[in-house]
Amino acid sequence: MSPTKKKTIAIIGGGASGIFASIRCAEIAKEKDIDVNICVFEATTSFLRKVRISGGGRCNVTHHLFDIKDFSLKYPRGQKELLSPLQKFHASNTIEWFENRGVALKHESDGRMFPVTDNSETIIDCFLKETHKHKVKLKNKTNVTAINKLQNGKIALSINKDESFIADSVLIATGSKPLGYDLAKSLGHSITEIAPSLFTFKIADPVLENLSGTSFTNATLTLNIENAKPFAETGALLITHWGLSGPALLKLSAWAAREMMHADYKAKIIVNWLSIENLSDAENLLKDIKNSNTKTSIGNAYPKALTKRFWLQLLVKCSISKEKNWSEISKNELNQIIENLIHCELSILGKSRFKEEFVECGGVDLKEINLKTMESKICSGLFFSGEVMDIDGITGGFNFQSAWTSGWIAGGNMALQESGNY
Ligand SMILES: Cc1cc2nc3c(=O)[nH]c(=O)nc-3n(C[C@H](O)[C@H](O)[C@H](O)COP(=O)(O)OP(=O)(O)OC[C@H]3O[C@@H](n4cnc5c(N)ncnc54)[C@H](O)[C@@H]3O)c2cc1C
């Protein structure tokens, strides 16, 4: 059958979502015999820059979690709205998509999935091979500076200073670049409040001093921010040279992203280092140590789950000499240790970016997007995918999955839109 329709499709942003969308668009067009001219406009010199640096250069592609409801719970923003898109393209589809193109993925014990090569170039090579195969036109150093809906229904893009491009459908996949939000706004869209997500906390407290690299497998964290409800998380925690990091803390930063920004990143965090559930359990733990070590110095007998270095710092925080024998420890001192073990209050002084993965929360209001197709409800022919939308996940591959899912849906529907198959 000969192609029946010629369609020009412009994708603004040659990042994860835009490139994935371009491939899906080309594949659907081929399958349905629709003639398409797909152009991806990328402002910078290189495509897929974040994919390259992602996951410490390994690219944490998705997460090994196959229950869609559970998966959606990993998105502080977009949780409810992502449920139906994820039914269409989920982590298992991502795995299959890459496998079908010769890229095997593996998962680690925490569920994060990477290419078996442990190299993000494998993902980039795969994408570039696919775009080449489908004759997608990749145009770098092309900054889309303005967008206009024309009377004939088409959409005009202004590129760099003096060029223009007319398309039947346009995908805005500009990630968290401010210009992308401006393009959406110029066509009538609203942008929800933008705030950094996935950051670590700056804390200066004696209990953390000289302990960079110390980790806790299961700590419970409670974040108290003025004028906000408390946030809580449990999981692995890491002491860094500037404060605290680790999976549990990063999750906390994502859930509280906006509230922390409003509080100028000043808040209190209460750490229960061993997730000991109640006071009496903590009392019993320390009483047992005390009773079996009456003649030992307190610096030399401590809970097994803690490192000696951390225990000694805890004693410094409590102003208790490590040389004292356990038998000399008063009730008051014991209570102080218990308090700092299960309810250690630390002042957060600011934030630092988590270098392995960070995102912006906020973006195009999801109420203005038809999430079945990713098309704008305000401007026909305009589509959105990826981080430009008000969707963001916790760390672990959830942000890329959202980029693939929305790109896959948008790409397919852009091809179908005017062909009558839509
Ligand atoms: C250091 C780091 C590591 C990360 N690691 C992971 C990870 O391992 N796993 C994970 O799930 N997530 C990770 N993330 C998050 C993930 O990279 C993003 O969520 C994802 O890239 C979003 O995809 P996107 O296509 O929406 O945006 P992007 O990948 O940011 O792509 C947007 C592209 O649009 C271009 N652009 C913007 N405006 C214009 C314009 N006006 N004209 C033309 N081009 C434009 C930009 O230059 C950019 O190339 C990481 C993020 C960072 C910063």
Q: Please work out whether the CB of residue 131 comes within 6 Å of at least one atom of ligand 1.
A: no
Output the CA 16–ligand 1 centroid distance in Å.
6
The DSSP bridge partners found for residue 220 are 234, 272
Q: Which atom of ligand 1 is nearest to the CA of 49?
A: 49
Q: Please work out whether the CB of residue 158 comes within 6 Å of at least one atom of ligand 1.
A: no
The pLDDT value given to residue 5: 60
At 148, is the secondary structure helix, strand, or coil?
A: strand
Amino acid at 58: R
Contact 174, 12 (CB under 8 A): yes
Residue nearest ligand 1's atom 29 by CA: 15
Q: Is the pLDDT of residue 368 over 60?
A: yes
Q: Which atom of ligand 1 is nearest to the CA of 407?
A: 25
Residue nearest ligand 1's atom 24 by CA: 175
**What are the pLDDT digits (tens) for 11-22?**
999 999 999 999
Q: Is the pLDDT of residue 1 over 80?
A: no
Structural tokens at position 422: 């839509």
Q: How confident is the model at residue 74 (pLDDT cuts 50, 70, 90)?
A: very high
Q: How confident is the model at residue 419 (pLDDT cuts 50, 70, 90)?
A: very low
Output the CA 39–ligand 1 centroid distance in Å.
18
The span from the CA of 166 to the CA of 157, in Å, is: 6
At 121, is the secondary structure helix, strand, or coil?
A: helix
Output the CA 232–ligand 1 centroid distance in Å.
28
CA dihedral (300, 306, 309, 310) in degrees, to 10, reads: -120
The span from the CA of 45 to the CA of 69, in Å, is: 38
Q: Give the residue, 417 or 348, on which the prediction is more confident.
A: 348
Average pLDDT over residues 97-110: 97
Q: Please work out whether the CB of residue 406 comes within 6 Å of at least one atom of ligand 1.
A: no
Residue nearest ligand 1's atom 38 by CA: 174
The span from the CA of 233 to the CA of 235, in Å, is: 7
Q: Is the pLDDT of residue 357 over 80?
A: no
Residue to mutate (ligand 1; options 123, 174, 176; most atoms within 8 A of CB): 174
User: For the chain, which residues make up each domain, given as ranges?
Assistant: 6-194+360-416, 199-353
**What are the pLDDT digits (tens) for 131-180?**
999 999 999 999 999 999 999 999 999 999 889 999 999 999 999 999 99
Residue nearest ligand 1's atom 19 by CA: 399
Q: Please work out whether the CB of residue 397 comes within 6 Å of at least one atom of ligand 1.
A: yes
Q: Which atom of ligand 1 is nearest to the CA of 142?
A: 43
Average pLDDT over residues 376-390: 98
Terminal alpha carbon distance of the chain: 20
Q: Please work out whether the CB of residue 177 comes within 6 Å of at least one atom of ligand 1.
A: yes
Residue to mutate (ligand 1; options 250, 400, 405; most atoms within 8 A of CB): 400
**What are the pLDDT digits (tens) for 191-249?**
999 999 999 999 999 999 999 999 999 999 999 999 999 999 999 999 999 999 999 99
Average pLDDT over residues 58-64: 97
Q: How confident is the model at residue 285 (pLDDT cuts 50, 70, 90)?
A: very high
Q: Is the pLDDT of residue 421 over 60?
A: no
Residue to mutate (ligand 1; options 20, 44, 50, 176; most atoms within 8 A of CB): 50
Q: Which atom of ligand 1 is nearest to the CA of 58?
A: 8
> Residue 255 half-sphere exposure, CB side, CA atoms within 13 Å?
20
The span from the CA of 276 to the CA of 186, in Å, is: 53
List C-alpha distances in Å: 99 to 69, 92, 104, 305, 327: 24, 11, 5, 41, 63
Contact 256, 200 (CB under 8 A): no
Residue nearest ligand 1's atom 31 by CA: 15
The pLDDT value given to residue 354: 74
Q: How confident is the model at residue 2 (pLDDT cuts 50, 70, 90)?
A: very low
What residue spans of 101-146 are helical by DSSP H?
120-133
Q: Which atom of ligand 1 is nearest to the CA of 18?
A: 25
| Mean pLDDT score of the chain | 95
Q: Please work out whether the CB of residue 381 comes within 6 Å of at least one atom of ligand 1.
A: no
Contact 15, 175 (CB under 8 A): yes
Amino acid at 305: A
* Helix or strand run (H / E) with residue 372: none
Contact 215, 274 (CB under 8 A): no
The span from the CA of 237 to the CA of 173, in Å, is: 34
Average pLDDT over residues 72-87: 98
Q: How confident is the model at residue 6 (pLDDT cuts 50, 70, 90)?
A: confident
DSSP codes of every residue in 180-191: HHHHHHHTT--B
Q: Which of 379, 385, 376 is nearest to 411 (CA)?
A: 385
List C-alpha distances in Å: 398 to 196, 256, 259, 338: 16, 17, 21, 37
The span from the CA of 361 to the CA of 387, in Å, is: 8
Residue to mutate (ligand 1; options 137, 399, 408; most atoms within 8 A of CB): 399
List C-alpha distances in Å: 235 to 31, 105, 191, 199, 253: 46, 25, 33, 16, 13
Q: Which CATH superfamily is domain 6-194+360-416 in?
A: FAD/NAD(P)-binding domain (3.50.50.60)
Q: How confident is the model at residue 418 (pLDDT cuts 50, 70, 90)?
A: low
